[in-house]
């Protein structure tokens, strides 16, 4: 149990201790902070991928829930986020994040079935991995959970504002992101966080949340470099991966979204569910973008269900999916 000194006094935050912390140096020299728990020889490995401007701690409820099952858990901070090192501006792309995920899997989950759970940017990272490494995806990934994410860039993003205002805010956001991207590896000054807190609260959360979870979110935001905050915006806005999802075939999958999500509203999850065969769609009433925190028990239950189904995956079944997808011939 941690006591974090927040902007309005001490807030008690539950943080699940990970059994092992390490650093992975990627091909381009970026260092990723990686935390793992569970037996190396567990029947399934679960990889938790966080959202834009956040870090691995946003999954702390689910990490705790996974301690009760026979699974290995891998959670890491994306480049330019959390405790990981900064990224070059030209590498602040979703395609690069897909490459990073491939390196993480080879280093920390070299064999056995994998479940990938991605929130927002993390979900888009999963799609980039599927696009860039189709044979590895088909042969290894036995389940996916998409939380508050999209396969269509900013197509459905309305920021919770009236439709006529959306284009204006989008232009302002893109312009501001371009400016931030050029400010380098600096992080938001701590003096700015209390000022930004009400905006972050309104933009990311729905009707209710635990005070500690907002503190975790603000703390993560304070660790993201300005280059990351602004640099990833162009890639996020341009991504379109519905065709990639449609090619994945039958795989245990879930798409979760809150009906008060101002960044990736329900149409984002609905299009994912329509594209990926067999996806179970869940829309949470009154919830916003931070579903793992706003509906921790429900999200954990869905994740555990996908993990249980993935644990039954066999090399023969995964090989059959590779053949059905035609990836073996493409290779």
Q: pLDDT tens for residues 122-170?
A: 999 999 999 999 999 999 999 999 999 999 976 666 566 566 655 655 5
Which residues have CB under 8 Å from 305's CB, separation 6+? Answer: 254
Number of other residues whose CB lies within 10 A of the CB of residue 57 = 21
Least confident of 11-15, 72-76, 171-175, 243-247: 11-15
Domain containing residue 98: CATH number: 3.40.50.1820
User: 67-95: per-residue pLDDT in tens?
Assistant: 989 999 999 999 999 999 988 888 989 99
Residue 9's pLDDT band (boundaries 50, 70, 90)? very low
Q: What is the dihedral of CA 157, 158, 163, 168, to 10 degrees?
A: -90
> In what helix (H) or strand (E) does residue 73 lie, and over which residues does it extend?
strand 72-76
The partner residues of 284 in beta bridges, in order of sequence, read 258
Are 105 and 140 in contact by the 8 Å Cβ rule? The answer is: yes
Q: Is the pLDDT of residue 6 over 90?
A: no
How confident is the model over 37-65, as a mean pLDDT?
95
How confident is the model over 230-255, as a mean pLDDT?
90
Q: What is the dihedral of CA 239, 94, 304, 104, to 10 degrees?
A: 160
Helices marked H in 7-149: 60-66, 94-108, 121-132, 134-140
Q: Is the pLDDT of residue 235 over 70?
A: yes
Please report whether residue 235 resides in a domain.
yes
Please report whether residue 84 resides in a domain.
yes
Q: What is the pLDDT of residue 19?
A: 66
Please report whether residue 228 resides in a domain.
yes
Q: Is the pLDDT of residue 107 over 70?
A: yes
Domain count, the chain: 1
Q: What is the pLDDT of residue 14?
A: 40
Alpha-carbon Rg for the chain in angstroms: 19
- In angstroms, the CA 197 to CA 283 distance is 26
Q: What is the DSSP letter of 71?
A: -
Q: What is the mean pLDDT of the chain?
A: 84
Q: Is the pLDDT of residue 292 over 90?
A: yes
Please report whether residue 328 resides in a domain.
no
Q: What is the pLDDT of residue 225?
A: 80
Q: Is the pLDDT of residue 11 over 50?
A: no
Q: Is the pLDDT of residue 15 over 50?
A: no
Please report whether residue 197 resides in a domain.
yes
- In angstroms, the CA 101 to CA 30 distance is 13
User: 256-278: per-residue pLDDT in tens?
Assistant: 999 999 999 999 999 999 999 98
Angle at 21 between CA 17 and CA 27, to 5 degrees: 145
Q: What is the pLDDT of residue 85?
A: 94
Look at the chain and count its residues: 331
Q: Which two tokens stand for residue 308?
A: 């249980």
Are 188 and 196 in contact by the 8 Å Cβ rule? The answer is: yes
How confident is the model over 224-241, as a mean pLDDT?
84
Please report whether residue 319 resides in a domain.
yes
Of the two residues 148 and 221, the one the predictor is more confident about is 148
Are 256 and 291 in contact by the 8 Å Cβ rule? The answer is: yes
Of the two residues 313 and 330, the one the predictor is more confident about is 313
Judged by DSSP in three states, 254 sits in strand
Q: What is the pLDDT of residue 182?
A: 59
Q: Which two tokens stand for residue 224?
A: 């993201």
Please report whether residue 330 resides in a domain.
no
Strand 114-119 vs strand 141-147: parallel, antiparallel, or unpaired? parallel
Please report whether residue 83 resides in a domain.
yes
Q: What is the pLDDT of residue 316?
A: 65
Range of the domain at 14: 2-323
Judged by DSSP in three states, 222 sits in helix
| Most distant CA pair in the chain, distance | 60
Which residues have CB under 8 Å from 120's CB, separation 6+? Answer: 50, 51, 52, 54, 147, 148, 149, 263, 264, 289
- In angstroms, the CA 298 to CA 305 distance is 11
Residue 7's pLDDT band (boundaries 50, 70, 90)? very low
- In angstroms, the CA 21 to CA 177 distance is 32
* C-alpha 213: how far from chain center: 16
């Amino acid at each position: 149990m941690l006591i974090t000194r927040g902007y309005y006094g001490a807030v008690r935050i539950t943080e699940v201790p990970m059994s092992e912390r390490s650093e992975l140096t990627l091909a381009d020299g970026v260092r990723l902070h990686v935390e793992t728990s569970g037996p190396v020889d567990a029947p399934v490995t679960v990889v938790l991928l966080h959202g834009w401007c956040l870090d691995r701690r946003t999954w702390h409820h689910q990490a705790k829930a996974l301690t009760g099952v026979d699974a290995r858990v891998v959670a890491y901070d994306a480049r330019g986020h959390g405790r990981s090192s900064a990224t070059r501006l030209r590498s602040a792309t979703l395609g690069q994040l897909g490459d990073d995920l491939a390196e993480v899997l080879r280093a920390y989950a070299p064999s056995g079935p994998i479940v990938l759970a991605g929130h927002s940017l993390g979900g888009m990272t999963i799609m980039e991995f599927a696009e860039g490494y189709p044979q590895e995806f088909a042969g290894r990934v036995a389940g996916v959970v998409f939380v508050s994410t999209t396969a269509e860039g900013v197509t459905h993003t309305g920021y919770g504002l009236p439709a006529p205002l959306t284009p204006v805010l989008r232009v302002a956001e893109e312009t501001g992101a371009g400016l931030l991207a050029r400010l380098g590896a600096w992080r938001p000054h701590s003096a700015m966080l209390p000022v930004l807190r009400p905006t972050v609260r309104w933009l990311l959360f729905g009707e209710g949340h635990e005070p500690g979870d907002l503190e975790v979110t603000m703390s993560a935001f304070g660790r993201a470099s300005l280059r990351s905050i602004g640099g990833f915006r162009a890639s996020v806005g341009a991504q379109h991966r519905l065709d990639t999802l449609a090619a994945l075939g039958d795989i245990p999958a879930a798409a979760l979204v809150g009906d008060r999500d101002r960044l990736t509203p329900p149409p984002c999850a609905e299009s994912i569910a329509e594209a990926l065969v067999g996806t179970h769609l869940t829309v949470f009433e009154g919830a916003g973008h931070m579903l793992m925190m706003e509906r921790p028990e429900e999200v954990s239950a869905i994740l555990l269900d996908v993990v249980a189904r993935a644990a039954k995956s066999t090399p023969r079944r995964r090989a059959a999916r590779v053949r059905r997808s035609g990836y073996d011939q493409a290779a």
